Amino acid sequence: MRRPIDSLFGRLALLVVAVLLLSHFAWYALMRLERSQLQTRYAVEEATFLVDAVRQHVARTPDQPLPSRVKLVDPASPDVPAASANMPPPLARFVEDVRDRMPADTQVRVGPPGAPPMLWVRAVTDQNWIVVPVQPLRMPRSLDRTVLWLVIIFSFAVMAALFAAWALQRPLRLLAQAVARFGRGLPVPPVPERGPRELRQLTHGFNQMVQEVARTENDRAVMLAGVAHDLKTPLARLRLRAEMMDDAKTRDGVVRDVDSMTHIVEQFLLFAHDGADRSEPVEVDAQCERVVRSYRAVATSAPTVHTELNAGPSFLLPAATLDRILSNLIDNAHAYGAPPVVVATARTPQSFTLSISDSGTGIAAQDLINASRPFVRLDPARGGNGHSGLGLAIVERLVRRAGGEWEIGNHGGRGLRVLMSFPFDVLPRVATASENAW
């Protein structure tokens, strides 16, 4: 199961959202703290200004009434609040700030809790307590418009950051897809060179590598095909002359050698062929059954080929590709394995599978890595006439060209098994390519 967090975009998105969330939360906490401090400073300045205004009013116009909620209280009045030593920290800081702004030895008290907030101030020179209103020091706890704007800004920032992350990882995703196609042996069109400088350099290097590999493969294929093609005519003349020999024993030996050389030449031509298979898709189960029946009809060991076909009619492959895969693998199993040979298909949750296995001794573990390399013959098991070491290499190329993957190994100690898997998403493309060819 693919996890979104494993992708580059998923990790960039998670990182961006986490950084934006942390920065916005820190900004909001700092803003609330600064707002609280600003409110406290403003309340101190306002209270100091009101007390000074009342003193000037008493000194200059004592006969004029005081403003609303501002009053003078006699020190002997029972309404004078007692000095409290257990005030909340914000209120205690507020009282200390007001006291610092007043003359020395000024008494500063706060009205009783539950009533409108009032500040009681009496300096040494004051005859009465000066009582003035003060602003509430606590911010409202309900969500205000700041939080709404914060959410809006955060949403737009996340969308912009996700778009930037998507634009950054898109060239990497295209490059990763091209690398996957190149690894499967499929044609790779040039990848657009976009993104940061380092990514453009990487993409440019990959495009150059693909071009060089394609040029080398094409040169090798042309050389191999040319040599093989030029050998077909002299081999045909040699076979014709061999069949005209009088000595039957010599004639049969020469004909057998010519047939082996002809088979090698045909393998060379098949390996050098790099074009797309445009034959009509066929049902793999039905075609496997037909191929196995033909082997049973012509081979002396016909009963040793069995089938276990369970993929169903949805499993389609080009007819020529499938025939070449089956013929190479069944011939290989007959030549180097032991009966019975089993041709099996199945449907898994992710793909269709096709496997050919025999009951021989298999291949040594250290030789498995070289088994599918072209022109490699594993001695002594891979000796014999008419074999060029291309059979498994041809099968691997055909499977990858059809969009599949293959695995070669010893199957539970019962011989060699070649397991090929074809994902569901490549099968429609195979059928479409064949339809477009017509």
DSSP three-state, residue 343: strand
Task: Return the percentage of the chain with pLDDT > 90, whole number.
Answer: 8
Question: Helices H, strands E: what count in the chain?
Answer: 9, 11
In this predicted structure, what is the pLDDT of residue 153?
A: 80
In a domain, 151, yes or no: no
Count the domains in the chain.
Answer: 2
Distance CA 41, CA 52 (A): 17
In a domain, 45, yes or no: yes
> What is the value of pTM for the model shown?
0.46
285, 312 contact by CB (below 8 A): yes
What residues make up the domain containing 70? 4-133
In a domain, 212, yes or no: no
Tell me the pLDDT tens digit for each residue of 138-173. Answer: 544 445 666 777 788 878 888 887 787 777 778 888
Which of 103, 133, 163 marks a domain boundary? 133
Tell me the pLDDT tens digit for each residue of 215-274. Answer: 877 776 666 666 666 677 777 777 777 777 777 777 777 777 777 677 666 666 666 565
If one counts every other C-beta atom within 10 angstroms of the C-beta of residue 131, the result is 24
In this predicted structure, what is the pLDDT of residue 435?
A: 41
In this predicted structure, what is the pLDDT of residue 308?
A: 93
Task: Summarize the confidence of residues 174-181 as an average pLDDT.
Answer: 86
In this predicted structure, what is the pLDDT of residue 353?
A: 94
Q: Can you point out the beta strands (E) in 350-394?
A: 351-357
Residue 82's Cβ-count burial label (10 Å; 0-12, 13-18, 19+) is: exposed
Question: What does 7-23 look like in DSSP terms, one character per residue?
Answer: SHHHHHHHHHHHHHHHH
Residue 284 has pLDDT above 90, yes or no: yes
Which of 85, 117, 133 marks a domain boundary? 133
In a domain, 238, yes or no: no
DSSP code for 368: G
In this structure, the strands spanning 281-283 and 316-318 are antiparallel
Task: Summarize the confidence of residues 323-339 as an average pLDDT.
Answer: 84
Which of 113, 133, 153 marks a domain boundary? 133
Distance CA 425, CA 275 (A): 21
In a domain, 169, yes or no: no
Which residue, 276, 262, 265, 247, is CA-closest to 400? 276
In a domain, 390, yes or no: yes
In this predicted structure, what is the pLDDT of residue 16?
A: 77
State whether the Cα torsion 256-259-263-269 is positive or negative: positive
CATH of the domain at 326: 3.30.565.10
In a domain, 199, yes or no: no
Beta bridge partners, 281, equal: 318
Beta bridge partners, 282, equal: 317
Q: In the numeric block, which tokens belong to residue 200?
A: 């453009």
In this predicted structure, what is the pLDDT of residue 283?
A: 92
pLDDT band for 289, please (50, 70, 90 cuts).
very high
pLDDT band for 345, please (50, 70, 90 cuts).
very high
In a domain, 242, yes or no: no
